[in-house]
Amino acid sequence: MSPWGYILFTAWATVSTFAVHRWGLVGIILTELIFGLIWSHRGMRLLRRARFWTFILGGAALGPFLIGQPDVTWGWLRLSRDGLVAGLEMSGRATALTLAIGLGVSRLSLSDIVALFDRIGLRGMGFATALAMNLLDTLRDTAAVTLQTIRLRGGMRRPWTALRLLLITTITNTLRYGDEVVGAASLRAFDPDSGPRARIPLRRADLWVLVLVAGSTGVLLATRPR
């Protein structure tokens, strides 16, 4: 599948997530799972992360306590039915939105991102976006190494000082790395505005994605409550 197919699906799922309610969210999530099983196995790894389920289930569990008026008594707990429904809907919307981004964007390489911006006439923006995404891994690795160094040197006994050192070191090293990348591109006479425009041909799988999102949209519209 070409990057156009992943962008199409991500855009459709994101817009649909905010346009439907309740059972419509279930339909979107099922469509996303079908898409992930066929074209985005890497994005499905998100469902194996404990932090993801902690966030999703935590939102659903807090709904009955924080939203609406309590109208159900369960032992010493006073719960709200409206809060339960609202919590489940918020969790479903968060799940659908997270999958929409994860299943699509996770399959795009940095070269795909540069090519997409190139096709719409924003070559410099494509280079900047790819550089920023590349810096995310550097930021994570630098923060992990810095935190481990501070811990080994006993810096955690002064948490505020340790936090300040962590932020300063991480930001400084990340900015220096970005500056080195830009400098290396300049030395090689890299010019994002020169050269032929990138080509991203459509593939047969893109048409199947179009059929999938069109069929899902039709089902959601047909089952929408009047």
Residues 6+ apart with CB under 8 A from 141: none
79: left (phi over 0), alpha (psi -120 to 50) or beta: beta
The residue count of the chain comes to 226
Q: What is the pLDDT of residues 12-59, one digit of tens each?
A: 988 888 888 778 888 888 998 998 888 888 778 888 888 788 888 887
Question: Rounded to an integer, what distance in angstroms lies between the CA atom of residue 68 and that of residue 55?
Answer: 21
d(CA 145, CA 77): 44
Q: Residue ranges per domain, the chain?
A: 3-112+200-222, 122-187
**Model confidence, pTM:** 0.68
Are 4 and 200 within 8 A, CB to CB? yes
- Give pLDDT tens digits for 97-109: 888 888 877 777 7
Q: State the chain's maximal CA–CA distance in angstroms.
A: 72
Task: Extract the tokens encoding 23.
Answer: 């059972």
Other CB atoms within 10 Å distance of the CB of residue 97: 18
Residues of the chain with pLDDT under 70: 75, 110, 122-128, 130-137, 156, 182, 185-198, 225-226
d(CA 223, CA 81): 24
